[in-house]
Structures are given as C-alpha cells and as structure tokens.
Amino acid sequence: MLKTEELQINIGPQHPSTHGVFRMLVTVDGETVTDLKPVFGYLHRNHEQIAEVNTYLQNMPYTDRLDYFNAMANNQAYAMAVEKMVGIEVPERAEYLRVLMVELTRILNHAGALGFLINDMGAWQTQLAFGMREREKILDLFESVSGARLMCNYFRFGGVARDLPPDFMPRLKDLLVAMPAFVDEMERLLRENEILLQRSEGIGILPKDLALAYSVTGPVLRGSGVAYDIRRAEPYSIYDRLDFDIPVGSVGDVYDRILVRIEEMRQSRRIIEQVIAQLPDAQGGHINPKARQNVRPPVGDVYARVETPKGELGFYLVSDGSSKPYRYKVRAPSFINLTPLGDMCRGYKVADMVVILGSIDIVMGEVDR
Amino acid sequence: MISSAVGCPMPNLSAEDLRTRLVRDLPGAVQSVSPLKVVPPPAQGHAPAAFVTGDTLVEAARIVDVALYLRDRLNYAYLSDICVVDYLADEIFEIVYRFYTVEGGSSLALKVRVPRENPVVPSLTAHWPGANFHEREAFDLYGIVFVGHPYLHRIYMWDEFEGFPMRKDFPRQGDKYIGEDE
C-alpha cells in the first residue's frame, strides 16, 4: 500500500486558464479536488470609493471598466439607477437604442465566453477565433456609434450620447443576416465535438436548489433549470413589449450552461430584429433634452438591476443630496457566481476544475472591483 | 428546453405589508425608523433633509429569524445583495439585505443598524451559502463582524492589511501603504 497524502496547490494567479489574475487554493487527493478556495483581490482598486469622490456623471466611464466585455450593459444599470433616483424620463427611441446595444453585447459576450471555454478544454484556438471574429464585427458597430470599441461610455442620464450614424443600420442588418449561420456553426462545433461532450457532460453539476441558495444568476442559474431572467422577472426598459424565450437547462452541468448561452444568442438576435422593426416608429430622440447630466438626486437610496450577459448587475446608490454619491455599491454577477465554485469542483479532477471555472464566465475587473 | 411560460410577475408585497406581517408574526423584530443625519452638508446650496428609509428596519439579533421568515413563509428565497452604508454622523452602520422571489417582481429590503464601535450581526451564510462573499466583503471593507460565518477573512485586501478602507473615516490620503512617490 502506497502512502498517500493530501496536497495543497495554488492554481493562479498567473495561469492562462484562470481568466485574469485569479487564484484557486486547491486541496487535491491525487488528481481529485477535495477542497477549493477562490482567492482574489489582485485587481482590487476600491472602485466603490473612487465613485464616492466623483460626480454621478463622472462615474459613467468607470462602470465600463467593471466588466470590460459588457461596457454597454454596465452603463445601462448605472444609468437606470440614477434615473430612478432623480426621476428622469427616457424617450422611447433611446430605450430602443439601449436595448439594441445591450443585446449586441450579450451576443459578443457569449461568443467570446464559449470560445474561451473551448480553449480551456484544450481545443486550441479554432472556436475562440470564430467567436472573436463575430465579436470584432459587433465591436466595429460599437466603435461607429460610440467612438470606442470596449470602453464605450455611450449611455447618459435620460438616453444615450448620440444617435446612430447613417451607415449603422445597413451594417447591423448585414451582421444579422450572417448571424444564424455563425450560431449554427458554433453549435455544431460544440455539440458534435467528442472532446467537448466528454469534458462537459455531467461535470460541475449545480443542482437547482443549491443554485438558488448560492444566489447565482445569469446563464449559470438558468443552466441549473431556474427560468429566472430579470428581463422577464422584473421587466425594465422596453423588454415587456419584446418577445423572447428564456432557455433553461435540465441537469445544471457545464454542457447545459453552454447550451443556454448558444440559445441566448439566438434569442438576442430575435430581440434585435424586433427592435429594428419598431425603431422607426419610436417617439422622441436619442436623449431626453430636459435631462440634466449634472444631477443632484434627492436624499434617499435606490437599487436598480439589469440582466447582463453574466447575470444580475445591480447598483445600490445612496444620495445625501450633493452631486456625488454618498454610497455606491456594485452587485457584480461574476463575483457572486464564484461563490459555489468550491462546491461545484469538489470530487472532480483538476482538469475539470478549469472547465467549470470557464463555464461560470467571470471577468476579474468585475469580481475584484 | 425553452421556457416561455413566465408571464406577468405576481403582485409583490410592499414594505408596509411586510412590516404588518412581521409585527404580527415575529413580535419585537421590527424597529421603528428614526431619521438619519446627512453628512457632510453640501458646501453650497440648501441643507438636505434628513435621511428616512421606507424599508423595514430589523433588530440586528433577529435578522436570521426575519430572513428565514421571508424565505419560508413569503417565498422570498433569492438573496440578491448585502450592502453596508456607513452613516458616520449617526455613529452607525446600516446593512441592507435585498430579497426577491423567483417568480419575479420587486424586492423586499431588510435593514439592520449596528453601532460603529461594535458592528456585530449574525451571519446568514448557514442558510444562504450565497451570503458568504457578500459578508466577507462587508467584513473586509467595513469591519462588520458576522457571527457564525465559516470563514470570515479578508477577501480583497491582503490578510495583514490594517483598517477598513470603505469606512468614511479611513484616511484617503497618506496612509502607510502609500509610498512617497505616489
């Protein structure tokens, strides 16, 4: 009988598959993970305190840097929180433009996330390159509308910074025409890939009740079979007039999370098509002309949340009546979705751990804040 | 695997409904709300009114009871957020717990006020494992002690760090971690 003992190893912070500077303190018994503690804070910059010394509008570009894949969605959550606090009305057209940008963000996030996930499984680059190719096309659109590819800073209180450029719609329509082929191709690459099936089916199972107790949101929660999507559960913006389905998984493993993301890309495309159809009839301009950007909200607190591609992003703001927030708290989806990582990895192999982490889809800018 | 059955959200409880129920079912758990001072007063312009909350203020020792009541009796099972606010002028921390139902709709917020010198509150992690990181963050940045938390360690700052950086009286300039060249 060989003498065996448990071994504690660090995976990260400098590790290619930890999606940033993220460390996992893993206890292994041979190849099997018996315990895992996520360790982070390497990118911590006390975002929330920086926000307390800025005016409300100055924080808008800072929200881009939370989840730098989804700058538009972060902008939306923050703009909604301030608008709710001050009582700014958003014109219909601006709401359509916002939804358009956020749903494009969802597509590019999932395309990237799936690509990175396959990369983590060892199927080097092909899938990632496909995802990145689509992402680039959407980033080009973002650049034409906001002037920046990643840090868009496009939203303002009461609307968006500027209206669409003239060539935006033709380019968007071209993109949408090419979109189904891309999603189908991606799904085929995933579903018919023996490596992927072996590595993802039955791995990292998060049961329904546990997913809820762990407060996870987004594709991780829906992959576990809870049809909870804030766009439906507490409709904001114009989502109550748009028709879309909420994909849910059945088992709660890595494979289900992949399928949920693929289907969400299709649903986002559906939403964008409805937005394009309804946009010409929408009332108002791209911004409420009466909305002041230099806001001084009344004393009070407010919480506003949106469904970003990663889950529930909420902003809790407390105002003391001045032009700067008294308290600015970010409820970051990536951060909370990491909580069950230890439970999801327990009992699986070290190589599975990397895949499970990839299936949560974290961005460290948001986790560490 | 597509669920489109989720329709219009169910009507939700308002904060007043919740208070009425809590007074009836858990006597002594709800505190009456006193307005908080607002600091710092603005350099110019009118002085703002005092801060009054419309949410339910709960006795710190009873927070677990009330949270379980929300989960088991009212079906508010999803703990979305735990947030700390430092009201320096009133010498208190306010901790905001936010709950939702999975059926959808608006939130119910519970607020707990603890003194700044001795910020101790029972942990919810035993019942909501998802409270784990929220509470560690509150401990790290504000120094709130959650009794019964399984692993109450710093989460962002390094373990040897002294002080709680999000507190309003934490020096923003010139602490010992900042070098002279910065």
Per-residue pLDDT tens over the stretch A291-338: 888 888 888 889 999 999 998 999 999 988 888 888 899 999 999 998
Distance between CA atoms of residues A347 and A362, nearest Å: 22
Residue B166 lies in a domain: no
**In the predicted structure, residue A7 carries a pLDDT above the cut 90:** no
Distance between CA atoms of residues B128 and B116, nearest Å: 25
- ipTM metric: 0.86
Q: The CATH number of the domain where B95 resides is what? A: 3.30.460.80
Written as six digits, the tokens of B137 are 């963050």
A272 — pLDDT class (breaks 50, 70, 90): very high
Q: Looking at residue A315, what is its pLDDT?
A: 93
Residue B149 lies in a domain: no
**In the predicted structure, residue A68 carries a pLDDT above the cut 80:** yes
Cβ contact A225:A250 at 8 Å: yes
Q: Looking at residue B178, what is its pLDDT?
A: 67
* Cut 0.80: pTM above it: yes
**In the predicted structure, residue A19 carries a pLDDT above the cut 60:** yes
Tell which A residues from 41 to 100 touch B, by Cβ distance under 8 Å.
41, 44, 46, 48-49, 53
A188 — pLDDT class (breaks 50, 70, 90): confident
Contact (CB<8Å) A248/B2: yes
Residue B115 lies in a domain: yes
Contact (CB<8Å) A327/B86: yes
Contact (CB<8Å) B80/A312: yes
Answer with the residue of higher pLDDT: A225 or A125. A225
Tell which B residues from 47 to 86 touch A, by Cβ distance under 8 Å.
48-51, 53, 77-81, 83, 85-86
**In the predicted structure, residue A344 carries a pLDDT above the cut 80:** yes
Q: Looking at residue B175, what is its pLDDT?
A: 67
Residue A298: what residue type? P
Nearest to A245 by CA among A273, A226, A227, A267: A267
Contact (CB<8Å) A227/B6: yes
Distance between CA atoms of residues A58 and A51, nearest Å: 8
Residue B136 lies in a domain: no
Shortest Cα distance, chain B CAs vs residue A254, angstroms: 15
Report percent pLDDT > 90 for chain A: 20
Could you list the residue range(s) of the whole structural domain that residue B101 is in? 2-33+53-124
Q: What is the pLDDT of residues A34-63, one digit of tens each?
A: 888 888 888 888 888 888 888 999 999 999
Contact (CB<8Å) A248/B80: no
- Nearest residue, CB atoms, B130 vs list A235, A305, A336: A336
Distance between CA atoms of residues B92 and B114, nearest Å: 6
Contact (CB<8Å) A49/B165: yes
Shortest Cα distance, chain A CAs vs residue B10, angstroms: 9
Shortest Cα distance, chain B CAs vs residue A230, angstroms: 8
Written as six digits, the tokens of A82 are 């301030």
A41 contacts in B (CB within 8 Å)? 154-158
Q: Does A241 touch chain B (CB under 8 A)?
A: no
Distance between CA atoms of residues A116 and A64, nearest Å: 21
Q: Looking at residue B5, what is its pLDDT?
A: 44
Shortest Cα distance, chain A CAs vs residue B21, angstroms: 23
The total number of structural domains in chain B stands at 1
Residue B65: what residue type? D
Written as six digits, the tokens of B39 are 């600091």
**In the predicted structure, residue A118 carries a pLDDT above the cut 80:** yes
- Average pLDDT score over chain A: 88
Distance between CA atoms of residues A248 and A349, nearest Å: 26
Q: Does B134 touch chain A (CB under 8 A)?
A: yes
Looking at residues A218-233, what average pLDDT do you find? 89
Nearest to A225 by CA among A215, A243, A239, A212: A212
Contact (CB<8Å) A228/B158: no
Residue B62 lies in a domain: yes
Looking at residues A275-298, what average pLDDT do you find? 86
Q: Does B15 touch chain A (CB under 8 A)?
A: no
Q: Looking at residue B180, what is its pLDDT?
A: 58
Residue B106 lies in a domain: yes
Rounded alpha-carbon distances, angstroms, from residue A145 to A149, A172, A174, A287? 9, 11, 16, 14
Looking at residues A84-108, what average pLDDT do you find? 91
Residue B170 lies in a domain: no
Contact (CB<8Å) A248/B3: yes
Which H/E stretch holds residue A344? helix A341-345
Contact (CB<8Å) A247/B1: yes
Residue B120 lies in a domain: yes
In sequence order, what are the residues at sequence separation of 6 or more whose Cβ sits closer than 8 angstroms to the Cβ of residue A159?
Answer: A90, A91, A94, A97, A285, A286, A287, A288, A291
Tell which A residues from 180 to 239 touch B, by Cβ distance under 8 Å.
210, 212-216, 226-229, 232-235
Q: Does B135 touch chain A (CB under 8 A)?
A: no
- DSSP-derived pairing of the beta strands A7-11 and A246-247: unpaired
Q: Give pLDDT < 70 ranges for chain B.
A: 1-11, 38-49, 174-175, 178-182
Which of A47, A212, A215 would you mutate first to test chain B, the one with the most B CBs within 10 A?
A215
